[in-house]
Structure 1
Amino acid sequence: MDTIQGFGKNMGSAFTNMGTAFTPFAARTSQFVKEQLGQADDKTQLPADYRELEARVDALHKVHQRMLSVTTQYGNEPYDYPPNLRESITDLSRNITGRVQALSNAATPAEAQQALVSPTQAPTDPKTFAHAISRAASASSQLLPASDPLSSGLEKLANASRQIGQARLTQDQVIVGQLVKPWTTNLNIPFKNVAKLRQEVENARLLLDAAKARQRQREQNGGGGGPGIGSIFKKNPADEAAADEQLRHEVETLEDKFIVAMEDAVRAMSELLNTPEPLRGLSAMVHAQLEYHQAAVDALQDVTESINGLQREQEASYRQSRDTAS
């Protein structure tokens, strides 16, 4: 009989403490499933201030994503001149042909290696739309006599368009360096760090609520594991008191961990929301755009005055020739 009673006492303690034997992952998973199925009671609510911070962080995250989905184009040189693909293919073909020719002329292994690693042609012009206009105008100018006013006008347009293209490249470099890269870094580091801390808060809450649920279950059953195999055996009051105290201590510990996790997340979210980096990048972008457009205005004003002068001279000469002929 004593053996049976001892076995019963051990089994009762085992079932009583079964909940605390779960691993943290199992406890979190079990609590999460119960909440999803609507079977969890008294879910610990996050403070309103905390939820507001989460909403602001989520909004800022969407701002980064939406702005970067557009501004990353500044890192793509030919974004304003898609037809440059044909020019790029031509350049590639010319480069391959040049390398093949250099290899065929190599007399030693060293010369062959040099032919493979050395550029076979001078770097091509940038593939912006303004540079494309500059190349077309310059090539067209060379088809006409140097004395032709149209040739002079085309050459002036080529120079102005080249200046505009260079100003656009400068703008792009500033925007990529001071907005695109920092904002991308924010998505890859601070936002991910905040997401990790927020998940730790959720994990801490699930563990806390799982422990509270076990505590409520013990209270409802008057201690012990409730109905089941363990209930047919005599309970040891000392063991039950120790189990209650252990579970109470576990709940208090998990409450402390939950609070610490929230404090860490609040600190990280507040720092992310208050950093001046995003607005600093936006300011740099607008300033770069202003300088680019101002440079374009200056270049176009100069070329407009020059071409207008050429036009007036040509029209005056044209009228004079007609008057003379008549």
Structure 2
Amino acid sequence: MSGYFSGFSFNKITDSISNAAHKTQDTLNQAIANVSDPHTKLSLKARTRYLQESFGTVGEISKLPPQYQSLERKVDALEKCLKRMLLVTRTFEVEGYDYPPNLTESISDWWSLNKDGWFSSSSKKSQKTKGDSSETFLPHSFAHAISKAAHDCNVVFKDLQEEEEGEEEDEDVINITEMFDSWSKCYKNIDLGKTEMDSIIVKEFNSKIDKLINQDFKRSHDLRKKVEISRLKFDTVRYEMKLKEQNVGLSKKTNDSSGPETELNANDAATAKENVEEAVTQDTSEKAARDQTGDAAPETQSTPNVEDSKLLEELEDEFVSNTTAAVEAMGEISECSEILSLAKLFQNFQLVYYRQCVQEIEASLKTLNELEAENS
């Protein structure tokens, strides 16, 4: 068994991921060099920065306001809970969810529909059974199954009364017939109430939860994505401007050096050189691309200019505007008033149904008590 994992190494996985990241970054750098549109170029640079942030190779990431971060956590938790509830309440959309198909009962019903009925009685009873059972072959709820079973039992004793017609009435047969009739009607009404409750929950509760998830929460995700994109663009331009400033400082320090007394410190120069090399790499790629296409090199400046400052200001305004819009949207959907209303709605539907169940069972029980009193 150990032979299968003898060549396994986490270092290999890490190296593979690192190589893939470098290849992706090189591809993006080549794409940036071949693009002339400034907006497209900035979008590609933002993607490169996102990749660098993911692997921790770049710092100075703009922090979002604490209120924004708190709302993000609140909205994500609320969305997760609503999805969890909807996963369960979608059960109301499934017919027969409280009474799965029963193979034994299905075979029995099929047999009674294709033979002379229960206990192979007369043809008259067979026609009645077929006529009554043709409504629904399989019960669509537990209440319906009880009602159907009680109804079939009621038919058996009704047929027994008809067979004994002309003879002295049997009080036990009459009472049992009425008992099953009361039982059947009770659960038939309960089944109708359940069907109505299921339909209302699907229309008034599930549909509104689904709308919240697929429209309102989706809109907040789109706004949060805009915030992330605008932040990446802002940080990208700000970082490039900082590198240009370091480049200017290094050049001045190098030009002002004269002799051993003003010699540039080796460590400072090395640090500044590393920062500059990253900014120069892209310029070199763009020059190589222009040489291949024969385009003339545009005039460039190695120092931050007015246009850079203006662009940075515009990106900052866009970042702030998108953040404000996202905060407003998340604040609206994270309010508990709508969720409370939906919860109350659900509970009211359940309460109406269970009250009906109590009323129907009490009425049936009253009939059974009367029959018991008459029989005693």
Which bin holds the TM-score, normalised by the shorter protein? Answer: 0.7 to 0.9
RMSD: 3.5
Q: Give the structure, 1 or 2, with the largest relative contact order (CA under 8 Å, sep 6 or more).
A: 1
Q: 1:311 to 1:135 in 2, by over 3 A?
A: same
Counterpart among 34, 53, 60 of residue 78 in structure 2: 60
Alpha-carbon distance in structure 2 between the residues aligned to 1:136 and 1:91: 10
- Secondary structure of the 1:44 match is coil
Q: CA deviation at 1:123?
A: 6.8
| Aligned position for 1:72 | 90
Alpha-carbon distance in structure 2 between the residues aligned to 1:204 and 1:265: 12
* 1:302 partner letter: A
| Aligned position for 1:171 | 197
TM-score normalised per structure 2: 0.64
Q: 1:141 to 1:88 in 2, by over 3 A?
A: closer
2:306 is the counterpart of 1:245: yes
Q: 1:60 to 1:178 in 2, by over 3 A?
A: same
* 2:61 partner letter: K
2:245 is the counterpart of 1:219: yes
| Aligned position for 1:40 | 58
Contact 2:186 2:361 in 1 (8 A): yes
* 2:239 partner letter: A
| Aligned position for 2:217 | 191
Q: Deviation per CA, 1:107-127, whole angstroms, max 9, x where unpaired?
A: xxxxxxxxxxxxxx7677861
Q: 1:88 to 1:259 in 2, by over 3 A?
A: farther
2:169 is the counterpart of 1:155: no
Q: Deviation per CA, 1:13-36, whole angstroms, max 9, x where unpaired?
A: xx9xx9x68623311211111111
2:273 is the counterpart of 1:260: no
* 1:32 partner letter: Y
* Matches for 1:265-304 after TM superposition, within 5 Å: 265-274=326-335, 276-304=337-365
Contact 2:82 2:209 in 1 (8 A): yes
2:152 is the counterpart of 1:134: no
Alpha-carbon distance in structure 2 between the residues aligned to 1:264 and 1:90: 63
Aligned-pair identity in percent equals 28
Q: Deviation per CA, 1:116-153, whole angstroms, max 9, x where unpaired?
A: xxxxx767786111111111100111111455122211
Alpha-carbon distance in structure 2 between the residues aligned to 1:73 and 1:86: 24
Q: CA deviation at 1:309?
A: 2.5
Contact 1:125 1:131 in 2 (8 A): no
Q: Deviation per CA, 1:177-220, whole angstroms, max 9, x where unpaired?
A: 11101100111111111100000100111111111111111111
With 286-295 and 20-29 compared, the bigger mean Cα shift is at: 20-29
Equivalent pairs, count: 270
- Secondary structure of the 1:161 match is helix
Q: CA deviation at 1:58?
A: 0.6
| Aligned position for 2:168 | none
- For structure 2, which runs of at least 5 residues remain unmatched after alignment? 1-32, 111-133, 162-170, 252-274, 285-298
Q: Deviation per CA, 1:5-56, whole angstroms, max 9, x where unpaired?
A: xxxxxxxxxx9xx9x6862331121111111121222110000001111111
2:47 is the counterpart of 1:29: yes
Contact 1:182 1:277 in 2 (8 A): no
Alpha-carbon distance in structure 1 between the residues aligned to 2:246 and 2:204: 61
TM-score normalised per structure 1: 0.73
- Secondary structure of the 1:143 match is helix
Alpha-carbon distance in structure 2 between the residues aligned to 1:86 and 1:70: 28
Alpha-carbon distance in structure 2 between the residues aligned to 1:154 and 1:278: 44
Alpha-carbon distance in structure 2 between the residues aligned to 1:89 and 1:184: 39
